[in-house]
Chains A and B, each alone.
Chain A
Amino acid sequence: MAIRERLSGNEAIAVAMKQINPDVVAAFPITPSTEIPQYFSQFVSNGAVETEFVAVESEHSAMSACIGAQAAGGRTMTATSANGLALMWEMLYIASASRLPVTMACVNRSLSGPLNIHNDHSDSMGARDSGWIQLYSENNQEAYDNFIQAVRIGEHSDVVLPVMVCQDGFITSHAVENLELLEDEKVKAFVGEYKPEHYLLNSKNPIAVGPLDLPNYFFEHRRQQAQAMINSKNVILEVAKEFEKLTGRKYELFEKYKLDDAEIAIVIINSTAGTAKTVIDELRDKGIKAGLLKIRVFRPFPAEEIAEALKHIKALAVMDKAEGFSAVGGPLFNDIKAALYGVADGIKVVNYIYGLGGRDVKADNIEFVYNELQNILKTGQLGETYRYVGVRE
């Protein structure tokens, strides 16, 4: 019988960590993810877990210690946000290249500067090329569910890559919602034992990790790493199926909301999807065929599946909660357009940058976007594709 609870997104992650009972958690405080190591260290102090909690002196050391611990043969986790993730940057690439399935809770926050503690996706979007699998979560339930699945995905022998589970800072990390938790023993059985093929603390077969890798091997190693990311898509789906059997909650690469018969649609990540669903319901009541595609898996990027799901849409807005400074649109927009190219060329696609630095995203803002899509449909004029919503100009 599932456990009904009321938890914040941070607490939900900490509870998932407790149930997984990893060998090592190394973390450093940063708003808004700080509560995760706080809750977790209380579990350690109360003897609720057997984990070694390493209260490091920086996020760079957090990820370095995670790498050392995971390489040693321990299941390892951390949590961070924004500048903390940025300070880990160098080590993110080393974790993935060393094929160490560390699990991270990334509580999305705007990356300085200027300093801002509130939500947008500039932190994890910047890490999209670091070789980490990225799962995004609309609400506390999804954050909890994704975090448990992440362990299985990363450690799968076809993958062996680190995974970050993202959720919106404050909006879901600090908001308390009803959710269903699994029983401890079910989580334990689902994630299983961590059994790495090679690890430092194996006296029968000592290994060396982190070589100088020169031009005659480096390229092959990168190719293998890329293949692992390609492989992860199927593993993500397999793990989701197993998770659905256990919980009844269905996860895919992305969620479609009233998308199949929609004429206009938006693509969005994380909590704003909830706001968009309300707007869609209202538009549908007025007979407007609005729909939504909510990204769950951003890395690997499910380009083919997304193009298939969107190919019937007439006008599409891709919503980026991060500015990529490419001067032609945000990172999600670029990936979606590339996915559609040559597959669904007829779609009129625009980009909206929204909610940067925690700017409130209201139903009105989303409705505005759908209205603009209707205008595009009506006039057939695409206009400027790189747009902002909710900003004073």
Chain B
Amino acid sequence: MAYNLKEIMERPDRLNGGHRMCAGCGAPPVVRSVLRAIKPEDEAVIGAATGCLEVSTFIYPYTAWKDSFIHTAFENAGATVSGAEAAYVALKRKGKIDDTYKFIAFGGDGGTYDIGLQSLSGAMERGHDMVYVCYDNEAYMNTGIQRSSSTPKFCDTTTSPQGTVIPGKSQFKKDLTGVMAAHGIPYVAQTTLTQNFKDIHEKSEKAIYTKGPAFLNILAPCPRGWRYETPDLMNICKLAMDTCIWPLYEVENGVWKLNYKPKKKLPVSDYLEPQGRFKHLFKKGNEHLIEEIQKDVDRKWEDLLKKCGETV
């Protein structure tokens, strides 16, 4: 069935408003977009790693989650949700449950790229029928903007501060989507908040209704950590796509497919400039830092085009 924005948006939200996430945060629209892909008649168990999303949506005695929800700790959303899925399989086999349940775990980049990587890898390798969604905001935002292995090179964070000698984070961002694709699981995709929500919706639907494990890596900007104006959320996402810093692609049963090729590939500076976390790169004398980022993005983009069978 062709994607119909109006129809999809009319589905009732499975994450209620009134939670305490910041204005202009990418995570709630990411979560709502993913959950909208669950058929309204299907049940779900949602899990979350400790992080902004969890501490802002489930503060006792209130929960913003309409579905059953579980949070246990920071590094184990993969394992926790895999346990719930295992119980479902067993109870279904024993004829104790009739409903159809879907299992979705959310983690930030800290809980996914770093401390939760082992738990995620294990859950995916074991083949649980679940989706793990990383809402990637490129630092430990809940504890106050510390660098993670997802933080981009030269980014200013509170544990990779730009100083007089060191210009922010010294290392490039880890390619987690690639790492997950290398697991050989049925479905891996990278997306963000596109303007008609088509890409995120279709990928979420595929991930949720593909049997077996699936992984979604979704860029979810953070106004506090990235220092952009809160109404600019969608624009920042668009620039990430158009500069090819965050390409949209999917790997379905080992086949790589590019989902968006900008008509005109924009220079990385267009994406970096509106964000306070990269402000120092625009000081006189730091041009070479932006050049280095550009070179890295170009190389990775060409690499991806080859993998996806596109002309370079």
List residues 64-95 of chain B with CB under 8 A from any CB of chain A: 65-73, 75-76, 78-91, 93-94
List residues 211-258 of chain A with CB under 8 A from any CB of chain B: 211-214, 217
**A residues within 8 A CB of B97?**
201
A23/B71 contact (C-beta < 8 A), A55-B126, A65-B80, A213-B60 known: no
**B residues within 8 A CB of A66?**
83
B75 touches A72 (CB 8 A): no
Is residue A383 contacting chain B, with contact meaning CB distance below 8 A? no
B89 touches A72 (CB 8 A): no
Contact of A206 among B55, B61, B68, B78 (CB under 8 A): B68
Is residue A50 contacting chain B, with contact meaning CB distance below 8 A? yes
Q: Using an 8 Å CB-CB cutoff, how does the interface string of A148-166 with B read, 1 for contact, 0 for none? A: 0000000000000000000
Q: Using an 8 Å CB-CB cutoff, how does the interface string of B47-61 with A read, 1 for contact, 0 for none? A: 100000011001111
Q: Which of B117-125, B175-183, B205-213, B280-288 contacts A (4 or more CB under 8 A)?
A: B117-125
**B residues within 8 A CB of A70?**
83, 87
Q: How far is the CA of A82 from the CA of B43 in the complex (A)?
A: 39
Is residue B63 contacting chain A, with contact meaning CB distance below 8 A? yes
**A residues within 8 A CB of B87?**
23-24, 52, 68-70, 72-74, 76, 201
Count chain B residues whose beta carbon lies closer than 8 angstroms to a beta carbon of A: 47
Is residue B101 contacting chain A, with contact meaning CB distance below 8 A? yes
Contact of B82 among A54, A58, A74 (CB under 8 A): A54
Is residue A379 contacting chain B, with contact meaning CB distance below 8 A? no
Closest to A94 in B: B72
Closest to B123 in A: A61
Tell me how far the C-beta of A194 lies from the nearest C-beta in chain B, rounded to whole angstroms.
Answer: 10
**B residues within 8 A CB of A208?**
58, 63, 65, 68-70
Contact of B70 among A54, A62, A68 (CB under 8 A): A68
Is residue B99 contacting chain A, with contact meaning CB distance below 8 A? yes
A64/B79 contact (C-beta < 8 A), A52-B87, A54-B126, A200-B45 known: yes
Q: How far is the CA of A31 from the CA of B126 in the complex (A)?
A: 23
Q: How far is the CA of A66 from the CA of B256 in the complex (A)?
A: 35
**A residues within 8 A CB of B47?**
68
Contact of A61 among B69, B89, B94, B122 (CB under 8 A): B122
A57/B66 contact (C-beta < 8 A), A65-B80, A72-B45, A214-B60 known: no
**B residues within 8 A CB of A58?**
118-119, 122
A60/B58 contact (C-beta < 8 A), A55-B126, A74-B87, A201-B68 known: no
Contact of A90 among B55, B69, B73, B121 (CB under 8 A): B73
Count chain A residues whose beta carbon lies closer than 8 angstroms to a beta carbon of B: 44
**A residues within 8 A CB of B54?**
212
Is residue A340 contacting chain B, with contact meaning CB distance below 8 A? no
Is residue A91 contacting chain B, with contact meaning CB distance below 8 A? yes
Is residue A342 contacting chain B, with contact meaning CB distance below 8 A? no
A209 touches B82 (CB 8 A): no
With most chain B CB atoms within 10 A of its CB, the pick from A55, A56, A90, A213 is A56
Contact of A209 among B71, B75, B89, B122 (CB under 8 A): B71
Tell me how far the C-beta of A161 lies from the nearest C-beta in chain B, rounded to whole angstroms.
Answer: 16
A217 touches B61 (CB 8 A): yes
Is residue A98 contacting chain B, with contact meaning CB distance below 8 A? yes
B91 touches A73 (CB 8 A): yes
A206/B66 contact (C-beta < 8 A), A55-B126, A61-B122, A64-B73 known: yes
Contact of A74 among B67, B86, B101, B121 (CB under 8 A): B86
Q: How far is the CA of A200 from the CA of B83 in the complex (A)?
A: 12
Q: How far is the CA of A26 from the CA of B101 in the complex (A)?
A: 21
Closest to A211 in B: B60
Contact of B90 among A61, A62, A74, A94 (CB under 8 A): A74
B84 touches A50 (CB 8 A): no
List residues 112-134 of chain B with CB under 8 A from any CB of chain A: 118-119, 121-123, 125-126
Is residue A203 contacting chain B, with contact meaning CB distance below 8 A? yes
Q: Using an 8 Å CB-CB cutoff, how does the interface string of B232-269 with A read, 1 for contact, 0 for none? A: 00000000000000000000000000000000000000
Interface pairs (6), CB distance under 8 Å: A60-B119, A61-B122, A73-B91, A74-B87, A206-B66, A211-B59
Closest 6 CB pairs of A and B: A68-B83, A74-B87, A65-B83, A57-B122, A61-B79, A64-B79
13 more CB-based (< 8 A) A-B contacts, given A23-B94, A201-B87: A23-B86, A50-B94, A54-B83, A57-B119, A60-B75, A60-B76, A62-B79, A67-B72, A72-B88, A90-B73, A94-B73, A201-B84, A208-B65
